[in-house]
Amino acid sequence: MRVVHTPLHERHDGAYELHRGALVPSFESPERVHIILQALEQAGYGVMPPREFPEAALLRVHDAEFVEFLRTAHARWRASGRDGSMLPSGFPARGLRRDRRPSGINGAMGWYTFDASTPIVAGTWEAVIAAAQCALTAAALVAEGESAAYALCRPPGHHAGRSFYGGYCYLNNAALAAQYLRDHGCGRVAVLDVDYHHGNGTQEIFWERDDVMFVSLHASPETEYPYFLGYADECGAGAGEGCTLNLPLPLGTRWPEYRAALDLAFEAIDRHAPAALVVSLGVDTFEADPISAFKLTTADYRELGACLAARGLPTVVVQEGGYAVAEIGANVAGVLGAFAGRTL
Ligand code: SP5
Ligand code: ZN
Protein backbone atom coordinates (compact mmCIF):
# COMPACT_ATOMS: atom_id res chain seq x y z
CA MET A 1 0.00 0.00 0.00
CA ARG A 2 1.43 3.31 -1.04
CA VAL A 3 1.51 6.41 1.14
CA VAL A 4 0.92 9.82 -0.44
CA HIS A 5 2.51 12.67 1.50
CA THR A 6 4.11 16.08 1.08
CA PRO A 7 5.89 18.26 3.66
CA LEU A 8 3.77 21.20 2.44
CA HIS A 9 1.36 20.42 5.29
CA GLU A 10 3.85 22.23 7.54
CA ARG A 11 2.78 25.53 5.96
CA HIS A 12 -0.37 25.23 8.07
CA ASP A 13 0.40 25.68 11.76
CA GLY A 14 -2.64 27.21 13.38
CA ALA A 15 -0.95 28.29 16.63
CA TYR A 16 -4.05 28.35 18.85
CA GLU A 17 -7.75 27.54 19.04
CA LEU A 18 -10.69 28.27 21.33
CA HIS A 19 -11.06 25.29 23.68
CA ARG A 20 -13.22 25.21 26.83
CA GLY A 21 -13.30 28.99 26.99
CA ALA A 22 -9.60 29.63 26.49
CA LEU A 23 -7.16 30.00 23.62
CA VAL A 24 -4.91 26.94 23.77
CA PRO A 25 -2.20 25.60 21.42
CA SER A 26 -3.79 23.89 18.40
CA PHE A 27 -4.35 20.17 18.89
CA GLU A 28 -4.10 19.77 15.13
CA SER A 29 -0.32 20.20 14.74
CA PRO A 30 2.34 19.43 12.08
CA GLU A 31 3.94 17.02 14.56
CA ARG A 32 1.00 14.64 14.04
CA VAL A 33 2.12 13.97 10.47
CA HIS A 34 5.81 13.85 11.36
CA ILE A 35 5.11 10.98 13.76
CA ILE A 36 2.80 9.10 11.38
CA LEU A 37 5.34 9.41 8.57
CA GLN A 38 8.16 8.20 10.79
CA ALA A 39 6.15 5.12 11.81
CA LEU A 40 5.23 4.29 8.21
CA GLU A 41 8.78 4.78 6.93
CA GLN A 42 10.06 2.51 9.68
CA ALA A 43 7.51 -0.10 8.64
CA GLY A 44 8.86 0.08 5.09
CA TYR A 45 6.01 1.79 3.22
CA GLY A 46 6.80 3.50 -0.07
CA VAL A 47 6.07 7.23 0.27
CA MET A 48 5.30 9.33 -2.80
CA PRO A 49 4.43 13.00 -3.34
CA PRO A 50 1.00 13.98 -4.67
CA ARG A 51 0.33 14.64 -8.35
CA GLU A 52 -1.10 17.96 -9.46
CA PHE A 53 -4.81 18.21 -10.19
CA PRO A 54 -6.68 21.12 -11.78
CA GLU A 55 -8.98 23.30 -9.70
CA ALA A 56 -11.89 21.62 -11.53
CA ALA A 57 -11.32 18.56 -9.32
CA LEU A 58 -12.04 20.71 -6.24
CA LEU A 59 -15.12 22.25 -7.81
CA ARG A 60 -16.69 18.80 -8.26
CA VAL A 61 -17.27 18.95 -4.49
CA HIS A 62 -16.86 22.57 -3.35
CA ASP A 63 -18.48 25.91 -4.14
CA ALA A 64 -16.31 28.23 -6.28
CA GLU A 65 -16.83 31.33 -4.10
CA PHE A 66 -15.96 29.30 -0.99
CA VAL A 67 -12.74 28.05 -2.58
CA GLU A 68 -11.93 31.65 -3.55
CA PHE A 69 -12.53 32.73 0.06
CA LEU A 70 -10.09 30.13 1.39
CA ARG A 71 -7.49 31.05 -1.22
CA THR A 72 -7.61 34.79 -0.47
CA ALA A 73 -8.71 34.94 3.19
CA HIS A 74 -5.35 35.51 4.80
CA ALA A 75 -4.28 38.15 2.27
CA ARG A 76 -7.54 40.01 3.02
CA TRP A 77 -6.80 39.66 6.73
CA ARG A 78 -3.34 41.16 6.28
CA ALA A 79 -4.74 43.90 4.04
CA SER A 80 -7.05 44.92 6.89
CA GLY A 81 -4.00 45.55 9.07
CA ARG A 82 -4.02 42.31 11.06
CA ASP A 83 -1.55 39.44 11.03
CA GLY A 84 -1.09 35.94 12.40
CA SER A 85 -3.94 33.51 13.02
CA MET A 86 -7.49 34.26 11.77
CA LEU A 87 -10.41 33.21 13.97
CA PRO A 88 -14.01 34.40 13.60
CA SER A 89 -15.91 36.47 16.13
CA GLY A 90 -19.55 36.04 15.06
CA PHE A 91 -21.86 33.61 13.28
CA PRO A 92 -25.28 33.96 11.59
CA ALA A 93 -27.38 32.17 14.24
CA ARG A 94 -31.19 32.23 14.33
CA GLY A 95 -32.55 35.77 14.12
CA LEU A 96 -29.67 37.03 11.99
CA ARG A 97 -29.55 37.33 8.21
CA ARG A 98 -28.35 34.36 6.21
CA ASP A 99 -29.25 35.81 2.82
CA ARG A 100 -26.19 38.00 2.41
CA ARG A 101 -22.50 37.52 2.97
CA PRO A 102 -20.81 40.56 4.51
CA SER A 103 -18.04 42.15 2.43
CA GLY A 104 -15.68 42.54 5.42
CA ILE A 105 -13.28 39.77 6.32
CA ASN A 106 -14.64 39.17 9.84
CA GLY A 107 -18.20 38.78 8.65
CA ALA A 108 -17.10 36.64 5.73
CA MET A 109 -15.22 34.36 8.12
CA GLY A 110 -18.26 33.92 10.36
CA TRP A 111 -20.30 33.22 7.22
CA TYR A 112 -18.01 30.44 6.01
CA THR A 113 -17.02 28.68 9.24
CA PHE A 114 -19.02 27.24 12.12
CA ASP A 115 -16.51 27.28 14.99
CA ALA A 116 -13.60 29.21 16.50
CA SER A 117 -11.17 26.29 16.49
CA THR A 118 -10.17 26.37 12.83
CA PRO A 119 -7.55 29.08 12.29
CA ILE A 120 -6.34 30.34 8.94
CA VAL A 121 -2.67 31.39 8.78
CA ALA A 122 -0.53 32.63 5.88
CA GLY A 123 0.34 29.09 4.70
CA THR A 124 -3.04 27.44 5.29
CA TRP A 125 -4.17 27.48 1.67
CA GLU A 126 -0.93 25.89 0.44
CA ALA A 127 -1.29 23.07 2.95
CA VAL A 128 -5.01 22.64 2.26
CA ILE A 129 -4.50 22.33 -1.48
CA ALA A 130 -1.61 19.88 -0.92
CA ALA A 131 -3.81 17.71 1.33
CA ALA A 132 -6.54 17.70 -1.31
CA GLN A 133 -3.98 16.62 -3.91
CA CYS A 134 -2.78 13.80 -1.62
CA ALA A 135 -6.37 12.50 -1.39
CA LEU A 136 -6.92 12.83 -5.15
CA THR A 137 -3.64 11.05 -5.85
CA ALA A 138 -4.54 8.15 -3.56
CA ALA A 139 -7.93 7.94 -5.31
CA ALA A 140 -6.21 7.97 -8.71
CA LEU A 141 -3.90 5.10 -7.68
CA VAL A 142 -6.93 3.04 -6.69
CA ALA A 143 -8.87 4.04 -9.82
CA GLU A 144 -5.85 2.87 -11.82
CA GLY A 145 -5.91 -0.55 -10.18
CA GLU A 146 -4.03 -0.48 -6.86
CA SER A 147 -5.96 -2.38 -4.22
CA ALA A 148 -5.46 0.32 -1.58
CA ALA A 149 -3.69 3.65 -1.01
CA TYR A 150 -3.25 5.94 1.98
CA ALA A 151 -3.43 9.75 1.81
CA LEU A 152 -1.54 11.27 4.74
CA CYS A 153 -3.70 14.39 4.66
CA ARG A 154 -3.18 17.37 6.89
CA PRO A 155 -5.16 19.47 7.56
CA PRO A 156 -8.00 16.93 7.81
CA GLY A 157 -11.24 17.32 5.85
CA HIS A 158 -14.39 15.57 7.03
CA HIS A 159 -15.97 18.55 8.83
CA ALA A 160 -15.70 20.75 5.70
CA GLY A 161 -18.78 20.92 3.49
CA ARG A 162 -19.56 22.23 0.03
CA SER A 163 -19.22 25.83 1.20
CA PHE A 164 -18.12 25.81 4.84
CA TYR A 165 -15.06 25.00 6.95
CA GLY A 166 -14.58 24.07 10.61
CA GLY A 167 -13.34 21.34 12.94
CA TYR A 168 -9.71 21.86 11.75
CA CYS A 169 -10.96 21.10 8.19
CA TYR A 170 -11.04 23.37 5.09
CA LEU A 171 -11.54 21.19 2.00
CA ASN A 172 -13.08 17.73 2.30
CA ASN A 173 -10.28 15.36 1.29
CA ALA A 174 -12.38 12.18 1.63
CA ALA A 175 -15.24 13.65 -0.42
CA LEU A 176 -12.78 14.68 -3.12
CA ALA A 177 -11.42 11.12 -3.20
CA ALA A 178 -14.92 9.63 -3.39
CA GLN A 179 -15.95 12.01 -6.17
CA TYR A 180 -12.74 11.26 -8.07
CA LEU A 181 -13.51 7.54 -7.91
CA ARG A 182 -17.04 8.23 -9.18
CA ASP A 183 -15.64 10.27 -12.06
CA HIS A 184 -13.12 7.56 -12.98
CA GLY A 185 -15.07 4.37 -13.37
CA CYS A 186 -16.56 3.49 -9.97
CA GLY A 187 -20.33 3.23 -10.23
CA ARG A 188 -21.00 3.42 -6.51
CA VAL A 189 -18.70 4.43 -3.65
CA ALA A 190 -19.09 4.13 0.13
CA VAL A 191 -17.43 6.51 2.58
CA LEU A 192 -16.91 4.95 6.01
CA ASP A 193 -15.98 7.55 8.62
CA VAL A 194 -14.35 6.16 11.77
CA ASP A 195 -13.12 9.46 13.22
CA TYR A 196 -14.34 10.13 16.80
CA HIS A 197 -16.30 13.13 15.52
CA HIS A 198 -19.22 12.98 13.10
CA GLY A 199 -18.19 13.77 9.52
CA ASN A 200 -20.80 16.48 9.08
CA GLY A 201 -19.15 17.91 5.96
CA THR A 202 -19.05 14.63 4.09
CA GLN A 203 -22.64 13.93 5.09
CA GLU A 204 -23.75 17.32 3.77
CA ILE A 205 -21.92 16.89 0.46
CA PHE A 206 -23.52 13.52 -0.35
CA TRP A 207 -26.84 14.02 1.51
CA GLU A 208 -29.07 13.90 -1.57
CA ARG A 209 -27.04 11.41 -3.58
CA ASP A 210 -27.50 7.68 -4.05
CA ASP A 211 -24.14 7.08 -5.76
CA VAL A 212 -22.01 7.84 -2.69
CA MET A 213 -23.10 6.30 0.60
CA PHE A 214 -21.98 7.90 3.87
CA VAL A 215 -21.68 5.75 7.01
CA SER A 216 -20.23 7.12 10.24
CA LEU A 217 -19.32 5.75 13.68
CA HIS A 218 -18.77 8.58 16.13
CA ALA A 219 -19.35 9.95 19.61
CA SER A 220 -22.88 11.13 20.23
CA PRO A 221 -23.35 14.76 19.19
CA GLU A 222 -25.52 15.21 22.31
CA THR A 223 -22.26 16.04 24.12
CA GLU A 224 -19.53 15.89 21.49
CA TYR A 225 -18.41 18.08 18.61
CA PRO A 226 -19.85 18.96 16.05
CA TYR A 227 -23.01 18.91 18.23
CA PHE A 228 -25.52 19.86 15.53
CA LEU A 229 -25.35 16.89 13.16
CA GLY A 230 -24.67 13.17 13.39
CA TYR A 231 -27.86 11.83 15.02
CA ALA A 232 -29.21 8.38 14.20
CA ASP A 233 -32.35 9.76 12.53
CA GLU A 234 -30.38 11.43 9.72
CA CYS A 235 -30.78 9.12 6.71
CA GLY A 236 -30.31 11.34 3.65
CA ALA A 237 -32.94 13.00 1.47
CA GLY A 238 -34.35 12.87 -2.04
CA ALA A 239 -32.46 10.36 -4.16
CA GLY A 240 -30.07 9.96 -1.22
CA GLU A 241 -32.72 8.81 1.24
CA GLY A 242 -31.34 5.69 2.94
CA CYS A 243 -27.77 6.38 1.76
CA THR A 244 -26.63 8.07 4.99
CA LEU A 245 -26.19 6.00 8.16
CA ASN A 246 -25.12 7.45 11.51
CA LEU A 247 -24.12 5.19 14.38
CA PRO A 248 -23.56 7.52 17.35
CA LEU A 249 -21.91 5.76 20.30
CA PRO A 250 -21.69 6.65 24.00
CA LEU A 251 -18.70 8.17 25.77
CA GLY A 252 -16.35 5.45 27.01
CA THR A 253 -16.99 3.12 24.05
CA ARG A 254 -14.50 0.23 23.86
CA TRP A 255 -13.62 -2.18 21.06
CA PRO A 256 -16.38 -4.81 21.58
CA GLU A 257 -19.16 -2.21 21.24
CA TYR A 258 -17.27 -0.42 18.51
CA ARG A 259 -16.84 -3.67 16.62
CA ALA A 260 -20.57 -4.40 16.88
CA ALA A 261 -21.36 -0.99 15.36
CA LEU A 262 -18.79 -1.63 12.63
CA ASP A 263 -20.67 -4.83 11.73
CA LEU A 264 -23.87 -2.77 11.33
CA ALA A 265 -21.97 -0.28 9.18
CA PHE A 266 -20.76 -3.04 6.88
CA GLU A 267 -24.22 -4.62 6.62
CA ALA A 268 -25.45 -1.29 5.26
CA ILE A 269 -22.43 -0.86 3.01
CA ASP A 270 -22.90 -4.40 1.60
CA ARG A 271 -26.51 -3.53 0.70
CA HIS A 272 -25.18 -0.53 -1.26
CA ALA A 273 -22.71 -2.83 -3.09
CA PRO A 274 -20.01 -0.21 -3.72
CA ALA A 275 -17.20 -0.64 -6.22
CA ALA A 276 -14.79 1.12 -3.86
CA LEU A 277 -14.44 2.24 -0.25
CA VAL A 278 -13.11 5.52 1.13
CA VAL A 279 -12.18 5.39 4.82
CA SER A 280 -12.07 8.63 6.78
CA LEU A 281 -9.50 7.41 9.29
CA GLY A 282 -9.46 9.36 12.54
CA VAL A 283 -7.55 7.76 15.39
CA ASP A 284 -8.99 10.19 17.94
CA THR A 285 -11.04 7.20 19.17
CA PHE A 286 -7.83 6.26 21.06
CA GLU A 287 -8.04 5.91 24.84
CA ALA A 288 -5.42 8.62 25.47
CA ASP A 289 -6.74 11.18 22.99
CA PRO A 290 -6.74 14.61 24.68
CA ILE A 291 -10.08 15.85 23.23
CA SER A 292 -12.02 12.60 22.96
CA ALA A 293 -13.55 9.95 25.21
CA PHE A 294 -13.59 6.56 23.48
CA LYS A 295 -11.32 3.80 24.77
CA LEU A 296 -9.75 2.06 21.78
CA THR A 297 -6.22 0.71 22.31
CA THR A 298 -3.27 0.42 19.95
CA ALA A 299 -4.02 -3.30 19.58
CA ASP A 300 -7.61 -2.45 18.62
CA TYR A 301 -6.41 -0.47 15.60
CA ARG A 302 -4.88 -3.64 14.17
CA GLU A 303 -8.31 -5.28 14.56
CA LEU A 304 -9.96 -2.28 12.91
CA GLY A 305 -7.54 -2.52 10.00
CA ALA A 306 -8.24 -6.23 9.66
CA CYS A 307 -12.01 -5.56 9.55
CA LEU A 308 -11.56 -2.91 6.85
CA ALA A 309 -9.12 -4.90 4.72
CA ALA A 310 -11.25 -8.05 4.97
CA ARG A 311 -14.01 -6.41 2.92
CA GLY A 312 -11.87 -6.95 -0.15
CA LEU A 313 -12.85 -3.62 -1.68
CA PRO A 314 -10.48 -1.24 -3.45
CA THR A 315 -9.86 1.21 -0.62
CA VAL A 316 -8.64 4.79 -0.26
CA VAL A 317 -7.70 5.57 3.34
CA VAL A 318 -7.71 9.30 4.13
CA GLN A 319 -6.20 10.65 7.34
CA GLU A 320 -8.57 12.69 9.51
CA GLY A 321 -8.15 13.36 13.28
CA GLY A 322 -6.08 11.89 16.10
CA TYR A 323 -4.40 14.10 18.70
CA ALA A 324 -2.54 11.71 21.02
CA VAL A 325 0.64 12.54 19.19
CA ALA A 326 2.96 10.07 20.93
CA GLU A 327 0.88 7.06 19.84
CA ILE A 328 -0.58 8.36 16.56
CA GLY A 329 2.10 6.64 14.45
CA ALA A 330 1.58 3.21 15.98
CA ASN A 331 -2.20 3.56 15.77
CA VAL A 332 -2.26 4.53 12.09
CA ALA A 333 0.36 1.90 11.23
CA GLY A 334 -1.80 -0.64 13.06
CA VAL A 335 -4.75 0.07 10.78
CA LEU A 336 -2.73 0.16 7.56
CA GLY A 337 -0.73 -2.98 8.39
CA ALA A 338 -3.73 -5.14 7.55
CA PHE A 339 -3.72 -3.84 3.96
CA ALA A 340 -0.01 -4.39 3.43
CA GLY A 341 0.00 -7.90 2.02
CA ARG A 342 -3.47 -7.78 0.56
CA THR A 343 -4.18 -8.40 -3.11
CA LEU A 344 -7.65 -8.21 -4.61
C1 SP5 B 1 -10.81 16.31 12.27
C2 SP5 B 1 -11.20 16.40 13.71
O3 SP5 B 1 -10.99 15.44 14.46
N4 SP5 B 1 -11.71 17.55 14.16
C5 SP5 B 1 -12.10 17.70 15.51
C6 SP5 B 1 -12.47 19.09 15.85
C7 SP5 B 1 -12.83 19.22 17.29
N8 SP5 B 1 -12.81 20.56 17.71
C9 SP5 B 1 -13.48 20.93 18.92
C10 SP5 B 1 -13.26 19.94 20.02
C11 SP5 B 1 -14.04 20.28 21.26
C12 SP5 B 1 -13.57 19.35 22.34
N13 SP5 B 1 -14.28 19.55 23.53
C14 SP5 B 1 -13.78 18.75 24.62
C15 SP5 B 1 -14.78 17.71 25.02
C16 SP5 B 1 -14.11 16.66 25.83
N17 SP5 B 1 -14.96 15.53 26.00
ZN1 ZN C 1 -12.10 13.89 15.02
Q: What is the pLDDT along the chain (344 residues), one digit of tens a residue?
A: 999 999 999 999 988 998 889 999 999 999 999 999 999 999 999 999 999 999 999 999 999 999 999 999 999 999 999 999 999 999 999 999 999 999 999 999 999 999 999 999 999 999 999 999 999 999 999 999 999 999 999 999 999 999 999 999 999 999 999 999 999 999 999 999 999 999 999 999 999 999 999 999 999 999 999 999 999 999 999 999 999 999 999 999 999 999 999 999 999 999 999 999 999 999 999 999 999 999 999 999 999 999 999 999 999 999 999 999 999 999 999 999 999 866 55
Beta bridge partners of 16: 25
**From ligand 1's centre to the CA of 234, what distance in Å?**
21
The pLDDT, as a whole number, for residue 192 is 99
What pTM was computed for the model?
A: 0.97
For ligand 1, atom 15, name the residue with the nearest CA. Answer: 291
Is the CB of residue 169 below 6 angstroms from any atom belonging to ligand 1?
Answer: yes
For ligand 1, atom 4, name the residue with the nearest CA. Answer: 167
Angle, helices 30-42 vs 325-340, to 10°: value is: 40
The pLDDT, as a whole number, for residue 277 is 98
**From ligand 2's centre to the CA of 152, what distance in Å?**
15
Smallest Cα–Cα separation from 77: which of 47, 49, 107?
107
Q: Residues 214, 203: contact at Cβ < 8 Å?
A: yes
Is the CB of residue 199 below 6 angstroms from any atom belonging to ligand 1?
Answer: no
Ligand nearest 318 Cα, by number? Answer: 1
Question: What is each CA distance from 55 to 19, 71, 109, 111, in whole angstroms?
Answer: 34, 12, 22, 23
Known catalytic membership, residue 272: no
The pLDDT, as a whole number, for residue 15 is 86
The pLDDT, as a whole number, for residue 343 is 55
**From ligand 2's centre to the CA of 335, what distance in Å?**
16
Smallest Cα–Cα separation from 44: which of 1, 6, 91?
1
The pLDDT, as a whole number, for residue 184 is 98
**From ligand 1's centre to the CA of 283, what distance in Å?**
12
Class of residue 282 by CB neighbours under 10 A (exposed 0-12, middle 13-18, buried 19+): buried
Q: Which of 159, 197, 198, 218 does the annotation list as catalytic?
A: 159
DSSP 285: T
For ligand 1, atom 10, name the residue with the nearest CA. Answer: 225
Is the CB of residue 282 below 6 angstroms from any atom belonging to ligand 1?
Answer: yes
Rounded Cα–Cα distance for residues 121 and 133 (Å): 20
Strands (DSSP E) contained in the chain are 2-4, 16-19, 22-25, 47-48, 148-151, 189-193, 212-219, 244-249, 276-281, 315-319
For ligand 1, atom 12, name the residue with the nearest CA. Answer: 291
